[in-house]
Amino acid sequence: MFPRFVQPKTSQVGSLFVSDFLRSYLTVGIFGLVGVALVGAFLGLGRLLRPNNPTAAKTEVYESGVDPVGDRWSQANIRYYIFALLFVMFDVEAVFIFPWAARLEVYEVFGLIEMAIFIFILLLGLLYAWRKGVLKWV
Amino acid sequence: MMSASLLLAELSYWQQTSIRVGAGLAAVLLVAGTLVYLHLFKLVSFMQSRLGPMEAGPFGSLQLLAEVGKFLQKEDIFPRKADRFVFAAAPFVVLMSTFLLVVVVPGGPDAWFVDSELGIYLAMAVSSVSVIGILMAGWGSASKYSLLGGLRATGQLIAYELPLILAVLGVVIQAETMNMQGIVMAQAEGEIFGFGGIGNPYLLTQFVAFGVFLIAMQAELTQTPFDMPIAESELVTGYMTEYSGMRFLLFFIGEFATAGVFSAIAAVLFLGGWYIPGIDPADNLMNILGPLVMVGKIVVLTFLIFWFRFTFPRFREDQLQRLAWKFLIPIALTNIVVTGILKVAF
């Protein structure tokens, strides 16, 4: 009923299809630029209206009302880095699961078992991190 | 009446895109403004037994415009030691992320911004751009509170991005497509045990994924049970501490616009998108009704977000990470496997 929503077959990959494909990403890019332009417009409008009178006290960073102490970029907890590493592992996996999920009907039981093994290995990884105490925030 | 699809088809790419950009601006800004007024100004006031803004416009409905006017006149202060370029660029990145996200949301059979086959996958990919903006804000401010807030926000956003993506996969398996229009049509044409009267909104079959998605969405938006990054009692306002005037308001606009866009994506995935029972989804009428239906569903979903926001106390950082890694991710992975088995079995 909606021919334009039908998934393109591989045989349909001609110049027309590819050009539509690239054009849709051009639109995505334009939307990103519109977001940037909107911020620019707001700030530009503000520039016409707002005062500009920086003093030493104003440009000091806020530290609960007392003079800031020590280095401006303090050291951070290593935990954040470890969680970032864990995230990369799982995020890459999502790249593999998405195409499988959209085409599960085609691969049937074979695809299901394949993905079950994949997800099982991933869960083992999570379990390993869990046992190692990486998931504990201290 | 000439059908909208014919009308659009006659226009060149640039004309079509201009219309879409205009509609996109309205979809982001009007929805964000409505949400701020309805939920942040009025809903919270009624929950706390007060009236909220009443002076600007009827029932205070123009309060937000007054606020924007006020913020436009505020001085733009850069901290002396700040990394000026990174500090100034952060709000641009955050708002850009919102506009990249809105492109996948469909509003009717022909009323879409980008009809990409990758749809929801694209949305999940660009939603992580805002993390970069927040980290930039935290780092560029050169303030201890900002840096801590930025790091907390990054740790939280990446932890909850995984359950969000994994919850979406259940829907993709059921709909057999990543295209947002395809997901809407799959729900509109679906049947519940042979009864096709209301289609098959995936809320009914993917309720586990819906729950995981809502919780992860709350965390992605850093709304209150998950507001460690901007915990006002410890970090002032986290990564936004050093921002003033219009730049601060832009972060605020970005937050609510993203809440609206995420709710729209949730509405498409779980509540049937722009489809309402009783009207043929191919009808041209849906191009006009569809966006209104979407706004209705967005308001319902954001009501849930703000209801949680004003009800629950804040999670601690360790509780927050535990919920994501030890509960939501295993639940979402199990949901994928179960959905896959049921999909192949039936």
Domain of A115?
Answer: 78-84+94-132
pLDDT at B212: 93
pLDDT at A21: 72
Mention every residue, 6+ apart, whose C-beta is less than 8 A from residue A137.
Answer: A79, B317, B318, B321, B322
Grouping H, G, I as helix, E, B as strand and the rest as coil, residue B195 is: strand
The model's pLDDT over B273-298, given as tens digits with 9 standing for 90+, comes to 888 887 777 777 778 888 888 889 99
In a domain, A58, yes or no: no
Q: For residue A126, which residues of chain B lie inside 8 Å, CB to CB?
A: 325, 329-330
For A79, what's the count of Cα atoms within 13 Å in the CB-facing half-sphere? 18
pLDDT at B262: 92
Contact assignment for B336 to A42 by CB distance below 8 Å:
no
In a domain, A37, yes or no: yes
Using an 8 Å Cβ cutoff, are B273 and B183 in contact? yes
pTM: 0.85
The model's pLDDT over A82-128, given as tens digits with 9 standing for 90+, comes to 888 888 888 888 888 888 888 887 777 888 888 888 888 888 888 88
The model's pLDDT over A46-57, given as tens digits with 9 standing for 90+, comes to 888 888 888 888
User: Measured between alpha carbons, how far is A18 from A13 in angstroms, rounded to an integer?
Assistant: 7
> Which of B113, B176, B246 is opposite residue A105, by nearest beta carbon?
B176
User: Measured between alpha carbons, how far is B108 from B282 in angstroms, rounded to an integer?
Assistant: 9
Torsion angles phi and psi, residue B195, rounded to 5: -100, 115
Q: What is the ipTM metric for this complex?
A: 0.80
Alpha helices per DSSP H over chain B: 4-10, 13-35, 44-47, 63-72, 84-102, 119-126, 129-140, 144-175, 180-188, 207-220, 232-235, 245-270, 286-309, 317-322, 329-345
Contact assignment for A34 to B24 by CB distance below 8 Å:
yes
Say how many domains are in chain A: 2
pLDDT at B275: 85
> Which of A23, A32, A136 is opposite residue B13, by nearest beta carbon?
A23
> Which of B91, B318, B344 is opposite residue A109, by nearest beta carbon?
B344
Contact assignment for B329 to A126 by CB distance below 8 Å:
yes
Mutate to test the interface with B, among A7, A17, A30, A79 (most CBs of B within 10 A): A30
The model's pLDDT over A8-38, given as tens digits with 9 standing for 90+, comes to 444 344 445 556 777 778 888 888 898 899 8
Write out residues 56-95 of A within 8 Å (CB-CB) of B.
Answer: 56, 58-64, 68, 72-74, 76-77, 79-80, 83-84, 86-87, 90-91, 94
Instruction: Give the distance from CA B112 to its chain's centroid.
Output: 17
Write out residues 5-44 of A within 8 Å (CB-CB) of B.
Answer: 5, 7-8, 23-25, 27-28, 30-32, 34-36, 38-40, 42-43
In a domain, A73, yes or no: no
Q: Structural domain boundaries of chain B?
A: 76-345
pLDDT beyond 70 at B10 = no
The nearest CA of chain A is from the CA of B160 a distance in Å of 10
Mutate to test the interface with B, among A16, A21, A42 (most CBs of B within 10 A): A42
pLDDT beyond 50 at B1 = no
pLDDT at A3: 42
pLDDT at B9: 59
DSSP annotation string for B3-71 = -HHHHHHHS-HHHHHHHHHHHHHHHHHHHHHHHIIIIIIIIHHHHTTS----SSSGGGTTHHHHHHHHH
pLDDT at B33: 87
Q: How confident is the model at residue B8 (pLDDT cuts 50, 70, 90)?
A: low
Beta bridge partners of B192: B195
* Phi and psi based region of residue B75 (left: phi greater than 0; alpha: psi -120 to 50; beta: remaining): beta
Residue (of B316, B152, B309, B297) closest to B218 by Cα position: B309
The nearest CA of chain B is from the CA of A122 a distance in Å of 10
Mention every residue, 6+ apart, whose C-beta is less than 8 A from residue B80.
Answer: A56, A59, A60, A61
Grouping H, G, I as helix, E, B as strand and the rest as coil, residue B116 is: coil
In a domain, A4, yes or no: no
Residue in A closest to B330 by C-alpha: A123
pLDDT beyond 50 at B246 = yes
Torsion angles phi and psi, residue B51, rounded to 5: -90, -25
pLDDT at B247: 87
Taking the CA atoms of chain B, what radius of gyration do you get in angstroms? 21
